Structure formats: C-alpha cells, structure tokens
Amino acid sequence: MQRNVMALMTSATMLFLFGCAKDNGNSDDKAESASETHSDDHSDHASTGDEMTAGDTVSTTTAADTASGSGSTTAGDTAGNGEPCDSHEVCASKYCEIYQDVPPDPDATCEEGPGEFNMWVTGTIFDIESREPVAGATIRFMAALTAVSNPQAGMDQGMAESGADGRFKGKAEDVEGKVLAIVGVSESSTHFLTATGLAAPIEGTNSYPLGNSLHDVWLVSKDSLSGWSSALETDAALADYLPLGENQGAIVGYVRNAMTGEPVEGAVVRSMNMVSEAIVRYIGDDPTTVTDDMTHGSGLFLVVNPGLGEGFEAEVDGRVTFSNQGGAAAGSVFAMVLLDDGEDHGMGTGPTDGSGSETGAGSETGAGSESSSTYGSTSR
C-alpha cells in the first residue's frame, strides 16, 4: 500500500488541468468492461502542442516509473504478462494495466504494450461530487496545448468510452514528442466537459511510458455547475466568471486523503503565486451553498481566474498538502486534486514568481510530488 502511494506521489502534476466492479484480472475480461476506441490511421488523431516549451507549463505529470517507450526488458524485470503488478517498471513488457490509483487497483496485471510511439490509457471515470463511476462517458486523449486552447473540438490522439463500471481502455497514438502532457478530456450527457491529466513524458525526454500514470478521471455534472453558479450569483467578485465553466472556464478541485481517497474537511486552498488573481471558493455541506473559508464535507473547492499552469496547495491542521497546477479554458472545467498524506509538504515550497512553476520539496516538480488531477480513485 505504501509503495503504491509513494509511486503516485512521485508523479509530478498534469495538465489543467482528476466500490468499482472488479474484473478477475484476465486481460480479455478487462477488454470487455472497458470500451476501446482508436484509429489505425494516425492522421485521424493529429494534434497540436508539439512546439510547447517549458515556459508554457500547465500541470504535468512525470511518471513514477521510468520505463523506456521501447518496452525492452532489463535486468531485474520479474513479472510476466498476466502476473500482478503495481507499476510499469516491474513488468517485463514495461506495461502494467491499472484502472485505479487510490486505493490501488488489486487486479492490476502486466500485459502487452501498445506498440512503438503509442500509449495504452486505462482508468475509471468518476463523478467528482458523488465519487461514483460514470458509465457511457467519452474520453479523448489530447496533447496538453490542444486541451488548453480548444478542448471542445481539438484533434485528439485517440479516445475511449467508459463501461458500466466507469472503466475504460483506449490507445493514444503517436504520443512521442508531445512535450508537456497527455490530457483526458471527458464528457457525458449529464456531465460538463472536464479535463484531467493522464501522463507526462519520462523525465528528461519527450518519450512516454507505455501506459498512463494517472488512472482516476473526473467529471463534473452539469447540474452541480449550474447549482454552484446560482449560489454564487450574489458574490460580486465572481460576477464576470458566471456561469461556471462557460465563461472563462474554472477549476473544480478536490482535497482528498492520499491513502483512502476520502474527502478532507477543513483545508484552506491557496495559490503558490504571490501575485495571483485567482479566486477560491468552497462547496458547503449543503451543496447548494458556497463559502469562502475552507473545505467542507465534500472536500470540494472552486477556482476562477487562475493563471496558466498556476500552482495551488492546501493547508489543513497545520500541514500542507502536495501541490498541483491547473488552468482554465472557456467551455470546460479542469479537475484538480490536492492529496493529503498526513505529512507536511510545505517546507521549501511557498509562492512562485508567477510562472506557475514550483520546484520545492513536495511540489509538482520536486521529489515526492503528486500528479494532478489527479489521481487515485476514491474508496466508496
């Protein structure tokens, strides 16, 4: 359990910015419960974002595993296909098929990789408020800049649809060279377009692991956004940002326990940018109310007017959570998760100079960082 949590923590954050039915661990059964959709024609999934530079940072996730995209076997690989695994690096194939992060997926097994320059994307789509799986949702795999600039109609690298248990499996094609991140842009008939980080290049390269790093994908319901917008109508500071998501976009965040996935109450979310113009609000115990003090029973918070790749963290009971980065684009929301493991990760962090990058211990790019949007699925 501890190893799984630390592996999750050591992933850095991703873009915009994230009680399931279990299968028996057989890859054929998994394929049946996860609807896979991808094109054999790579031109169908062309994407922008290849020219993004480090200065364009928007929430990226560095894989805890450092598996090569080649999928070659190295000394020390012990797990064969069909055998249990908890990370890509322990598999001879360099691909561990995982469908949830927190708590760790007990049915994860090593499987065949997706082929050169491709990446398998697996996970479970959850409603961020109820924390229940969402069936029949579509998820498109996009390069980060595409997701930031045109989340509604941007070209994708592949797509998939969630099954009855919320699980999905798809192939992101031609991910080699996508310099910042691959992001999941999801929606359903009852849920607003929501972006969640999935994977970032292996550190120091523009190559990706053979499978995504983050497996919990989040959706925000249209009814919830509408209700929160109504509750904020008397908040003069937010007048220019309503309705939420539609006008300039927004972050919907979730402070959660890193071990159990349960919401964390009493957390105060703050920007890591000393000149931030972002505005933070919290969903009340009555979901039709919004406050400006701290997280309540749901652990949910809202951020409007964030900068591009702006970093956020939360303080609870005198300790600081892992940080995360996010942004906003009109017509969509970004799901951000701040993980609390009971330890203080505030040492050496503090506000940034406004770039959104933060390199202190416990930050997205520092040792022990967590991926965004993150991140493990919730226990129910």
Q: Mean of the pLDDT values across residues 142-161?
A: 90
In contact, 306 and 195? CB cutoff 8 Å: no
In contact, 328 and 309? CB cutoff 8 Å: no
The SS3 of residue 27 is: helix
Q: In one letter, which amino acid is 277?
A: E
Q: Tell me what pLDDT residue 326 has.
A: 84
Distance between CA atoms of residues 51 and 180, nearest Å: 9
Is the backbone peptide bond immediately before 104 cis, with ω within 30 degrees of 0? Answer: no
In contact, 199 and 67? CB cutoff 8 Å: no
The reported pTM is 0.75
Q: Label residue 215 by pLDDT band (50, 70, 90).
A: very high
C-alpha 238, offset from chain centre: 26
Distance between CA atoms of residues 15 and 57, nearest Å: 8
CA distances from 286 to 131, 296, 352, 357 (A): 16, 9, 34, 35
Distance between CA atoms of residues 186 and 331, nearest Å: 12
Distance between CA atoms of residues 331 and 72, nearest Å: 41
Q: List the domain boundaries for the chain.
A: 7-66+118-380
The more confidently predicted of residues 306 and 377 is 306
Q: Mean of the pLDDT values across residues 171-193?
A: 93
Write out pLDDT tens, residues 2-48. Answer: 444 444 443 434 433 332 223 333 434 443 444 444 344 433 443 33
What is the C-alpha R_g of the chain?
19
Distance between CA atoms of residues 344 and 349, nearest Å: 11
The burial of 345, by beta-carbon neighbours within 10 Å (0-12 exposed, 13-18 middle, 19 or more buried), is given as: buried
Residue 250, beta-bridge partner list: 333
Q: Which helix (H) or strand (E) holds 149?
A: helix 144-149
C-alpha 257, offset from chain centre: 15
Distance between CA atoms of residues 60 and 128, nearest Å: 20
Closest CA relative to residue 20, chosen from 185, 215, 191:
215
Q: How crowded is residue 50: how many other Cβ atoms within 10 Å of its Cβ? A: 15
Determine which of 52-61, 73-82, 83-92, 136-145 has the lowest per-residue pLDDT on average. Answer: 52-61
Q: Tell me what pLDDT residue 147 has.
A: 86
In contact, 303 and 269? CB cutoff 8 Å: yes
The more confidently predicted of residues 48 and 192 is 192
Distance between CA atoms of residues 341 and 338, nearest Å: 10
* pLDDT > 70? residue 378: no
Write out pLDDT tens, residues 300-358. Answer: 999 999 988 899 999 999 999 999 888 888 899 999 999 999 999 985 444 333 333 33
Distance between CA atoms of residues 186 and 340, nearest Å: 25
Q: Label residue 269 by pLDDT band (50, 70, 90).
A: very high
The burial of 190, by beta-carbon neighbours within 10 Å (0-12 exposed, 13-18 middle, 19 or more buried), is given as: middle
